[in-house]
Amino acid sequence: MLSLARRTPRTPPAKEAAAPPARHPAGRWAGLAVLAVLLLLAAAASLAVGAEHVPLGRVWPAVLSPDGSRDALIVHGLRLPRTLLGIGVGAALGLAGAVMQALTRNPLAEPGLLGVNGGAALAVVVVIGAFRADDVLVYVWAAFAGAAGAAVLVHAIGARGRGGTSPARLVLAGAAVNAVSSALTAGLMLLSPRAFNGFRFWQVGTLAGRDAAVLARVLPFIAAGTALALLLARPLNALGLGDEAGRALGAYPGRTRALGALAVVLLCGSATAAVGPITFLGLAVPYAVRALVGPDQRWVLPYSLLLAPVVLLAADIAGRVAAPGELQTGIVTAFLGAPLFMVIVRRGRMREL
């Protein structure tokens, strides 16, 4: 009896000991409400700020009941489609980055870094130059095919050799695929003036010059990818514990990966077809969200859905006012995301999630 009384207490398993502290659901819901307010403020600023400033008091009347005035023409005719497209594309890229990071358990997974955006851009150039396509819907389907092909190629390259896939392998494979895609894209544009003229606005990613028809063409695909990504929150949580534990919890790893890949292709393909390749947004936003709410995908995904368009609209506004001529949104997001990428690597966060 004495030996039993003095027995050392059982040490909890490593996963239990390493589990992050629980966060109160009320705080998370409050965070979502704050992000929704920030998104409304970013949308209002996007409608008001530009080469021709529109007073905030005139913005919403010009949106809801345009009266033909100069302010109404600027807000309703030019900036409203751009703002709505920024919200849709930002949400798509933020969700795509979060799903990619959950599927690969890689904090560096991002559509731009892993070659997905580059493959989509290359496919768009091919259909412009070879088939003389000028329909956004054709660009969307081409971008889907290019994004899917690039994703498969990156994972095939990253899985070769000993040890299988790792965050560093996937990033290196994505850099290689991006380099090849960029070289082929540049070559095709040099060979085909039509491809150059049709693709030059997609080259760095921008919200400028897009009308409501572009948003109408890509919105169904963004909506489908968004719904699919949000429905995968619980299976992604189970998959994060490993395939065996996921199966024990009722998840199907193969099906979850296939549906997650489909969601990423829908989101990245439609976003790239609409505005061109925009990098680092899908990396920075999920990384910041996990620091706020933890690894639970039931919160990571909706937070990314709201925070990413806030960041994209802020980058677009900064591009309008930062230089005498407008600076493309993709350049601004690269300026913001590249330092964060270096910080993640220097802090040793390249281990799996």
> pLDDT tens across 24-37, in order?
778 899 999 999 99
The whole-number average pLDDT for the span 276-298 is 90
Which pLDDT value is given to residue 295? 92
Res 272: pLDDT: 83
Q: What pLDDT digit, counting tens, does each position of 193-235 carry?
A: 766 766 665 566 788 878 888 889 899 999 999 999 999 999 9
Please tell me the predicted confidence (pLDDT) of residue 16.
Answer: 36
Which pLDDT does position 14 carry in this prediction?
Answer: 39
Q: What pLDDT, on the 0 to 100 scale, is given for residue 293?
A: 93
For residue 23, pLDDT beyond 70: no
135: left (phi over 0), alpha (psi -120 to 50) or beta: beta
Mean pLDDT (the chain, rounded): 82
Top pLDDT among 108 and 314 is at 314
Q: Where is pLDDT greater, at 295 or 197? A: 295
Q: 38 pLDDT exceeds 80?
A: yes
Task: Band the pLDDT of 53: cuts 50, 70, 90.
Answer: confident
Q: How many residues does the chain have?
A: 353
Predicted structure pTM score? 0.83
Task: Provide the percentage of residues in the chain whose pLDDT is more than 70.
Answer: 85
pLDDT score at 163? 61
What's the confidence (pLDDT) of residue 213?
Answer: 86
pLDDT of the residue at 47 = 93
Q: Identify the band that residue 349 occupies on the pLDDT scale cut at 50, 70 and 90.
A: very low
Give the rounded percent of residues in the chain with a pLDDT score beyond 90.
28
pLDDT given for residue 290 in this prediction: 92
